[in-house]
Amino acid sequence: MPLFEIAIVQQPTKKEAEEGTGVEKLLFGPKAVLARDAQTAAITAVTGSDAPKGLDMTRAQVLVRPFA
């Protein structure tokens, strides 16, 4: 199975972005994950036991890249 590197970044809310007070936050990773493909690696990061609790998927950006 291929190795992927995963990170989850939380985007600021629309209100925070307009006011200029919001910044992106690293919620998870970067972490190495073994998976069949990039989509499976992303799902593992979001639903796995290490996933951040209370994750707001409307503001989350899941970044996946092959490790090699």
Domain of 52, in residue numbers: 3-66
Output the pLDDT for position 18.
74
Q: Per residue in 3-55, pLDDT tens?
A: 999 999 998 888 877 777 778 889 888 999 999 999 999 998 888 888 788 88
**Neighbouring C-alpha atoms within 13 Å toward the C-beta of 57:** 6
| pTM of the predicted protein model | 0.79
- Structurally, the chain folds into a number of domains equal to 1
What pLDDT was estimated at residue 9? 92
